[in-house]
Structure 1
Amino acid sequence: MLARISLFALAVVLLALISLVPTLQFPSSAEVSTFIGPRVWPLTLIIALLGLGSALLLITWRDARRGTTYDDELAALSHPPSGSVATQRFTFASTRHWWLIAATLIYTWLISEVGFLFASIAFTLVCTLLLGARSWRTILITLVVATLLMQGVFVTLLGIPL
């Protein structure tokens, strides 16, 4: 198990290092007309990926040196007690992640059809419902706050008109 985690962490670190070169070729904020350039967000993600992948790799190596094993815990999780037989059903709760992925794909398509702001409001509404909000007051507050944040961040802070 430690070998798999180490391999995964190493792959994450290598992905971050390989992605660093093309990301540094994006224009900076000094080269474009917006407050924050196109390089900032991908570079932030790559730095986070590099840091978290390195941390996972170091923690895994530390645990291997200490002799910590995860095989017993994994075996206990994969084999439920003999008295309970778990059957998988396709309920809304068990397929919620697929609905969120579908909503994200539709949102991506909808941006070009109706515009960013309206598509984002619709996406926020759908995601709020998918994540379990049932009170219309909560849903309305979420929509208003999300809309104000989108307007505030993109128009006011970044200078990108919607």
Structure 2
Amino acid sequence: MKNIHVSTTINGDEAEFVCAPEETLLDSLRNRLGLSGAKEGCGTGDCGACTVEMDGRLVCACLVLGAEAEGAQIKTVEGMAIGEGLHPLQQAFIDHAALQCGICTPGILVAAKNLLERNPDPTDTEIRYWLAGNLCRCTGYDKIIKAVQIAAADMRGA
């Protein structure tokens, strides 16, 4: 089969790559563009470790073909940093021990950022619902939820 040329925007920057028709967006991001933040945990869309934002929607990059990124706006964990500093969510995860092995963390951060952009003051239940597609085997979820709440408050200036 013939390879496909893809033009897209990733983390605000124009990007182009060539991929095989069957190549996932996850593989394109990691192997062609050097964006290794999103991880492959399951390859079936069940764990959320590969969560990225595509045209404002959260998607599992392991379930999206690289060719589907044509013309899309993609946001990955690498695009979260603000200038030279960390995003408040990233800092809260570090400060409040909301990560351990790090496999799930990029997907959770992308999902949490997407939530806070839509709802800057979510309840505990809303955070848990929004992050339900992201599985963590190491930390449990209490520290993650707490870090999201603290980052939300920080971002609101509370």
TM-score by length of 2: 0.28
Q: Which has the higher helix share?
A: 1
* Bigger CA radius of gyration: 1
TM-score by length of 1: 0.28
